[in-house]
Amino acid sequence: MTVSEKDVHVGILDLDWRRRPKQGFRILLIYLILGVSAVVFLLPLLWMVTTSLKTQAEIYVFPPTFFPETYRWQNFPEGWTYESMQWTRWLMNTLAITASVMVGTLISATLCGYGFARISFPGRDLWFILVLASIMLPGTVTLIPLFVGFHRVGWLDTLLPLTVPAFFGGGAFNIFLMRQFFKGIPVELEEAALIDGAGRLRILWQIFVPLSGPVIAATSVFTFQAVWNDYFGPLIFLTSQENYTLALGITFFKGLYNTQIPYMMAMSFLMVIPIIIVFFFAQKLMIRGVILSGIQA
């Protein structure tokens, strides 16, 4: 057993390669692989940005230039108002859907999470298993009857099919997150309030919710991401252009002006920006949520 092998796992690496040449080489190798991988993962995103700033002529040069010859910032306003594109409207639709789904999800996932975590009643575990099982269900099995149903009630081409279901549970994963979090809140707090005659709703609102900042934030972030990125739902349920979301707008643009690469990249990049901003603010929370899903399930 050499010292260096042990240290790798214990976590104190000696960065002085002169004293431990073998370990120095090892660190160098790790950085080399990490660095190459980072380039592979980040370069495409960088490419999106630089392409969005190029002229149409510079796009069709081979081999391509990496950085634009001239930075054409007007690609962004021009792409935004290009011909029949209604980006402002599509942004509003996306925001409206995102906001409603977030409200619906937070309300209903909190209620359900509390019910599953803190009240014991017959049938609870069965319903919880059903909730978890629904995570694994291929969406297409319910798609067609839902489409037919929304068609019958006249909801097609409105935002309702995309928002109303969020008020009914808010997604299995979010319920699961809430439940796990609520289970960790000390019982004594709740029992004291119950003895004082407080109702469960009041307990949830006055004791649980104020303690649940992290899980509420994580749920909000995941929901924001999922709705902002969703393509399939809007594709199925929305038909007229003025009801499109950003994701539909981008493919619509691609369908009409396949060759307007800089505009397309500019609009795609605009769609990525909010996601990246949210990610940087909520990175720790999100990673914890992803991890929770992986370990507990």
Partner 1 sequence: MNSRMRDTVQGYLFISPVVLGLLIFTIGPMLASFYMSFTKFPLLRAPEWIGLRNYVVMFTSDRNFWQACKVTLIYAGTSVPLGLVGAFVLAMLLNQRVKGIAFFRTSFYMPAIVPAIASLILWGWLMNRDYGLINAVLVRLGIPKFSFFAEPETALASMVMMSLWGVGAGMIIYLAGLQGIPESLYEAGKLDGANELQLFRNITIPMMTPTIFFNLVMGLIAASQTFVNAFVLTSGGPLKATYFYNLMLYERAFNWTQMGMASAMAWFLLFVVLILTLLVFRSSGLWVFYEVEVK
- Restricted to residues 151-210, the positions that interact with partner 1 (CB under 8 A) are 151, 165, 167-170, 175, 200
Own/partner long-range contacts of 78-83 (Cβ < 8 Å, ≥24 apart):
78/263, 79/260, 79/262, 79/263, 79/264, 79/266, 79/267, 80/267, 80/270, 82/253, 82/257, 82/260, 82/263, 83/256, 83/257
Longest dimension (CA), the chain: 76
Q: Which of 22, 124, 183, 202 binds partner 1 (CB under 8 A)?
A: 124
- Judged by beta carbon, residue 76 or residue 147, the one nearer partner 1 is 147
Pick between residue 145 and residue 154 the one whose CB is nearest to partner 1.
Answer: 145
User: Could you tell me which stretch among 78-86, 183-191, 205-213, 225-233 binds partner 1 (CB under 8 A)?
Assistant: 225-233
- Taking the CA of residue 90 as centre, how many other CA atoms within 13 Å lie in the half-sphere pointing to its CB? 26
Q: State in angstroms the smallest separation of the CB of 248 from partner 1.
A: 8
Q: Does 231 bind partner 1 (CB under 8 A)?
A: yes
Q: Establish if 99 lies at the interface with partner 1 (CB under 8 A).
A: no
Residue 79 CA to residue 297 CA, distance in Å, equals 44
Q: Compute the least distance from the CB of residue 4 to partner 1, in Å.
A: 10
Cis peptide before 63, with omega less than 30 degrees from 0?
A: yes
> Total residues at the site for partner 1 (CB under 8 A)?
99
Give the C-alpha separation, 141 to 251, whole Å.
25
Q: Are 238 and 157 in contact (CB under 8 A)?
A: yes
Asked whether position 228 contacts partner 1 by CB under 8 A, the answer is yes
Q: Which of 54, 79, 82, 115 binds partner 1 (CB under 8 A)?
A: 115
Q: How far is the CB of 83 from partner 1 (least distance, A)?
A: 18
Site pattern 44..83 for partner 1 (x: CB under 8 A): xx-xx--x-------xxxxxx-------------------
Which CB sits closer to partner 1, 57 or 186? 57
Evaluate the CA torsion angle 269, 272, 277, 281 in order and state its sign: negative
The dihedral built from the CA positions of residue 78, 84, 87 and 89, taken in this order, carries a sign that is positive
Q: How far is the CB of 228 from partner 1 (least distance, A)?
A: 7
Residue selected from 177, 215, 216, 261 as contacting partner 1 according to rule CB under 8 A: 261
SS3 119: coil
- Site residues for partner 1, 126-155, by CB under 8 A, read 127, 130-131, 134, 136-149, 151
Task: Single out the residue of 109, 238, 126 nearest to residue 180, CA to CA.
Answer: 109
Site for partner 1 in 20-39 (CB under 8 A): 27, 30-31, 33-34, 37-38
SS3 helix, strand, coil % of the chain, rounded to 5? Answer: 75, 0, 25
Residue 41 interacts with partner 1 (CB under 8 A)? yes
